[in-house]
């Protein structure tokens, strides 16, 4: 009847002819499923005894969350350490944001030259490829373990993240508004700070706060893994030094509460942006 209709091998009418993207997605999903199953057999399980590990984990989790208490430190110290971690995250975020703002002007294609934009983008891709903890440890060789290495190391990733977010927000700004100001003889600086920044302000704030939320988690990690101090270091001590599950639980709960508060604020800002 219709020339466009196709039949499959059973003679029934085909309802769809998957295109390239759909076929690729289908095989990717099948491929990942196979890889996952095979991957479980390839992993290194040296020293793993599930019959012991699982009950022990459950027991640990029970101690952590059912009877948390701070045994080796005080509440005031714990809260002070939270403040230290928050401060580390804040410093890395705000200093990173200032650097990112200027780099993003150079990255946004509507405000910059292609060669400059591509150079910054390539640079940032490489910076982002190095895990934050490695940045911190590399800077620790030069500056010693501590807050300086932690903040500078964390700035690198924050900049990589924020430049991308900022420049994408800048690229959304209506070309006409930029042109109108350019036509009236405004300087480059005027365009940036009279049009671009005010237009995108709520996005910038929202993205920056989102990064602060991430940086809090990163700062906890740096405290535990790279000697940056703060609540992360306390967590590391109580779990790897004192093996005190009740304290690990208390500290984890403190971190959880702070993280959830930050997430709620970030969500609020994102909705209003």
Partner 1 sequence: MAVDNKLKEEQKTKTDFNKKATDDVLISFDEDPEVTGETVEVASKEEVKQMPVIMSIENLNKEYSKGKTVLKDVNFDIKKGELLSIIGPSGAGKSTLLRSINRMIEPTSGKIDFDNKNITKIKGKELRKMRTNIGMIFQHYNLVDRLSVFENVLHGTLGYKNSIQGIFSMYTESEKEEALDIITELGIQDHIYKRCDELSGGQKQRVGIARALVQKPKIILCDEPIASLDPSSSRIIMEHLRKICNEKGITVIVNLHQVDVAKNYSDRIIGLNSGEVVFNGHPNEINKEVIQKIYGTDFDDLIME
Partner 2 sequence: MRQTQTINAKDINIIQKKNLMLLLTVVIIVGLIMLASYITEYNHVDGILSIPAAISWMASNLMFSQSTLANLGSVLRLLWETVLISIVATTTASVFAIVFALMGSSLTYLNKPLMYLAKIIASISRNIPVVAWALILVISFGTNSMTGFLALFFGSFGFLVRAFIETIDEGSRDSVEALNATGATYWHTIFKAVLPGSMPQMFSWILFMIETNIRSATLVGLLTGTGIGYLFDLYYKQLNYEMVTLITLAIVLAVLIIEAISNIIRREIL
Interface positions with partner 1 (CB under 8 A) = 1-2, 4-6, 12-17, 19, 22
Report what 129 binds from partner 1, partner 2, none; CB cut-off 5-8 Å by kind.
Answer: partner 2
220 near partner 2 (CB under 8 A): yes
Cα separation, 102 vs 95, whole angstroms: 12
From the CB of 3, what's the least distance to partner 2, in Å? 27
* N-term to C-term CA, the chain: 54
Residue 87 interface partner, choices partner 2, partner 1, none, CB cut-off 5-8 Å depending on type: partner 2
- Residue of 29, 30, 79, 180 that binds partner 2 (CB under 8 A): 29
Contact of residue 110 among partner 1, partner 2, none (CB under 5-8 Å per partner type) = none
Answer for the pair 89, 218: CB distance below 8 angstroms, yes or no: yes
Which parts of the chain fold into alpha helices (H)?
20-42, 50-66, 75-107, 114-129, 132-143, 147-172, 175-183, 188-190, 197-225, 231-236, 245-272
User: Is residue 195 within the footprint of partner 2 (CB under 8 A)?
Assistant: no
**191: DSSP letter:** I
Q: According to the binding rule CB under 8 A, does residue 78 interact with partner 2?
A: no
Q: Which residues of 114-137 are buried (b: 16+ CB within 10 A; e: fewer)?
A: eeebeebeeebeeebeeebbebbb
Q: How far apart are CA 185 and CA 163, in angstroms?
A: 28
Of 26 and 113, nearer to partner 2 (C-beta) is 26
Rounded Cα distance between 43 and 169, Å, is 42
For residue 49 the two structure tokens come to: 């005894």
Evaluate the CA torsion angle 32, 34, 40, 42 in order and state its sign: negative
- 196 interacts with partner 2 by CB under 8 A: no
For residue 6, the partner it binds in partner 1, partner 2, none, with Cβ less than 5 to 8 A by kind, is partner 1
List b or e across 215-240, with b for residues whose CB sees 16 or more CB atoms inside 10 angstroms.
bbbbbbbbbbebbbbbbbbbbbbbbe
Residue 9 engages partner 2 in binding (rule: CB under 8 A): no
The verdict on 30 binding partner 2 (CB under 8 A) reads no
- Is 125 one of the binding residues for partner 2 (CB under 8 A)? yes
The region of 70-78, 104-112, 178-186, 230-238 touching partner 2 under the rule CB under 8 A is 230-238
CB of 10 to partner 1, least distance (A): 10
> Segment contacting partner 2 (CB under 8 A): 7-15, 41-49, 69-77, 183-191?
41-49
| Contacted entry of partner 2, partner 1, none for residue 14, CB cut-off 5 to 8 Å set by kind | partner 1
Answer with the entry of partner 2, partner 1, none that 96 interacts with (C-beta below 5 to 8 A by kind): none
């Amino acid at each position: 009847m219709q020339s466009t209709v196709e039949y499959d091998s059973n003679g029934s009418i085909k309802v769809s002819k998957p295109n390239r993207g759909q076929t690729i997605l289908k095989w990717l999903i099948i491929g990942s499923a196979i890889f996952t199953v095979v991957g479980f057999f390839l992993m290194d399980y040296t020293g793993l005894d599930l019959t012991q590990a699982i009950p022990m984990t459950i027991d640990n989790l029970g101690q952590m969350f059912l009877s948390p208490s701070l045994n080796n430190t005080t509440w005031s110290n714990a809260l002070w350490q939270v403040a230290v971690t928050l401060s580390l995250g804040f410093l890395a975020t705000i200093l990173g944001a200032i650097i990112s703002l200027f780099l993003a002007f150079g990255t946004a294609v509507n405000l910059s030259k292609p060669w400059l934009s591509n150079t910054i983008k390539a640079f940032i891709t490489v910076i982002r490829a190095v895990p934050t903890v490695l940045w911190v440890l590399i800077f620790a060789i030069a500056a010693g373990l501590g807050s300086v290495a932690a903040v500078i190391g964390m700035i690198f990733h924050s900049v990589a993240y924020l430049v991308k977010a900022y420049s994408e927000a800048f690229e959304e700004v209506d070309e006409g508004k930029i042109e109108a100001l350019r036509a009236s003889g405004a300087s480059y600086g005027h365009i940036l700070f009279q049009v671009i920044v005010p237009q995108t302000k709520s996005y910038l704030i929202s993205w920056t706060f989102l990064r602060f939320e991430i940086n809090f988690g990163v700062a906890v990690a740096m405290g535990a893994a790279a000697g940056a101090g703060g609540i992360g270091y306390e967590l590391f001590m109580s779990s790897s030094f004192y093996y005190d599950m009740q304290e690990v639980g208390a500290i984890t709960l403190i971190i959880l509460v702070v993280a959830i508060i930050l997430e709620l604020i970030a969500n609020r800002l994102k909705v209003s942006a």
